[in-house]
Amino acid sequence: MMMMMMKNPITLLTFVLLFSTVTVLAQSGNFSPKECCFEFFSTRLRKDKVVNFKNTDTRCAKEGVLFTMKNGAKFCVDPSEQWVKNIIKAKLKLQTE
């Protein structure tokens, strides 16, 4: 089979490029999201304890927001909850000031 591939350099080149692309994608982790929320923390968190937030990847099964607290703890929260929206709004306002 290798001899046949060597006789057709276009086939060989295509194979090498395809293999290297798949290898790079697999190593970079582009096949699946790194952080998803499978359950939401339902207790209201204190706004002054939240230092950062980020939305989960759009490829996740559930849309979620990840709050990072002052002590480094991370909580997945439901972005449709009003208390979550209020914290995000407050944090965005602080970023623009």
Structure tokens at 21: 């692309």
Rounded distance between C-alpha atoms, residue 81 and residue 95, angstroms = 22
What contacts 24+ positions apart, CB below 8 Å, involve 27-32?
Answer: 32/59
| pLDDT tops 80 at residue 6 | no
Q: Is the pTM of this model over 0.75?
A: no
| CATH code, residues 47-96 | 2.40.50.40
| pLDDT tops 70 at residue 20 | no
> In degrees rounded to 5, what are phi and psi of residue 52?
-155, 160
| pLDDT tops 60 at residue 4 | no
Q: What is the DSSP letter of 62?
A: S
Numbered ranges of CATH 2.40.50.40 in the chain:
47-96
| pLDDT tops 90 at residue 25 | no
| pLDDT tops 50 at residue 15 | no
Tens of pLDDT, residue by residue over 33-75, are 788 999 999 999 999 999 999 999 999 999 999 999 999 999 9
